[in-house]
């Protein structure tokens, strides 16, 4: 993860399988960021087949240009003391580099440094983009513009899932 690479598919598959087995109520689960590879999509299909009662709803693809993603990720700052989150452009602290909550110096997470972000985007194109065809072929993909205000994006997602 520190290099911007994905967690091994088998580990993620085991975690999802264990989690779904432990759910004892009739509910909806949101799997944010899973699956990220074709192998993980196959694992998810196996888990669903094993469980019997589970139904897969459409996947939502938030479409955002790489330049915007890079700016969003590389601009994040975190307080190591209290965990408060900031962004250099969209949620800046009152005093540059200093946490508004506790006064600690803000840091860039190791997985948010520019080199790692570029690698994460390359890994996404190589390993995750093939899922678009996978879910489109199953009529299980909804595309949503992932730009604008959070409220606007949430509204667009809500509309495609109705």
pLDDT at 151: 95
| pLDDT at position 23 | 81
Between the alpha carbon of residue 48 and those of residues 14, 41, 56, 141, the distances in Å are 13, 11, 8, 17
Asked whether residue 1 is assigned to any structural domain, the reply reads: no
Give me the CATH number covering residue 133: 3.40.50.300
Q: State if pTM tops 0.85.
A: no
Per-residue model confidence as pLDDT tens digits over 111-134: 898 999 999 899 899 989 999 999
Residues 6+ apart with CB under 8 A from 105: 80, 97, 98, 99
Contacts 24+ apart (CB under 8 A), 94-99: none
- Model confidence at 5: pLDDT above 80: no
Yes or no: say if 77 and 86 are a contact pair by the CB < 8 Å rule.
yes
Both structure tokens of 77: 């700052």
Q: Structural domain of residue 66, as residue ranges? A: 9-160
Q: Is 136 a member of any domain?
A: yes
Q: How many domains does the chain have?
A: 1
Which of 150 and 93 is assigned the larger pLDDT?
A: 93
Quick check: is 2 in a domain?
no
Categorize the per-residue pLDDT at 27 as very low, low, confident or very high, splitting at 50, 70 and 90. confident
């Amino acid at each position: 993860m520190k290099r911007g690479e994905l967690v091994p598919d088998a580990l993620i598959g085991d975690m999802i399988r264990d989690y779904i087995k432990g759910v004892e109520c009739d509910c909806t689960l949101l799997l944010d960021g899973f699956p990220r590879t074709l192998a993980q999509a196959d694992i998810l299909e196996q888990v669903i087949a094993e469980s019997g009662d589970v139904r897969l709803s459409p996947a939502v693809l938030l479409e955002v240009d790489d330049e915007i993603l890079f700016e969003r990720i590389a601009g994040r700052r975190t307080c190591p003391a209290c965990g408060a989150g900031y962004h250099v452009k969209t949620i800046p602290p009152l005093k540059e580099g200093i946490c508004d909550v506790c006064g600690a110096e803000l840091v860039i997470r190791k997985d948010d440094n520019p080199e790692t972000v570029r690698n994460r985007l390359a890994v996404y194109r190589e390993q995750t983009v093939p899922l678009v065809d996978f879910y489109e072929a199953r009529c299980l993909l909804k595309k949503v513009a992932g730009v604008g205000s959070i409220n606007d994006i949430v509204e667009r997602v809500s509309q495609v899932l109705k």
